[in-house]
Amino acid sequence: MSPCTDRVVGKILAGWRYDISGLAPEMRGDYESHLATCEHCRSRQRLHRTIDIGLIVLASVSAFVFLLAFGVIRTVGPRHELAFELAAVGGFLLSIFIFVLVALATPAPMVVARSVHDRLPDGIRERIPEELRVRISGQ
């Protein structure tokens, strides 16, 4: 992989985990142009978003599995049913907490929303209210 083309901007972006979505549009220009030209930073940004989305997916699957385990325990009724039920509910709540924490602390939900928005047909995209469309597109 090639080194960063501008180490100062690259270090700033690395400190923010390559997330410029919270910046005002007029402040993003230099960072967006750097990400457009620097393969190193662009690949790091992609890696960070992949990890964020992976954590959200993993937390969702984990919550589903704990919920499924709770249902199986209720149906089967093993010897220490209450302890197993409490463990299943605790795991479910922990998974939901991790999901919410990752969704709030990272720009992953907006990245997914942009990806879906970009793939929508023009007719459906035009039905989205202007305020929401501007927020999703980041302009």
How far from 38 is each of 11, 25, 49, 58, 136, CA to CA, in Å?
13, 20, 17, 30, 24
pLDDT tens profile 50-77:
999 999 999 999 999 999 999 999 999 8
Kindly indicate the confidence band of residue 90, based on its pLDDT and cuts at 50, 70 and 90.
very high
d(CA 129, CA 115): 17
Give the model's pLDDT for residue 1.
Answer: 65
pLDDT tens profile 21-51:
777 777 788 888 888 888 988 898 889 999 9
pTM equals 0.78
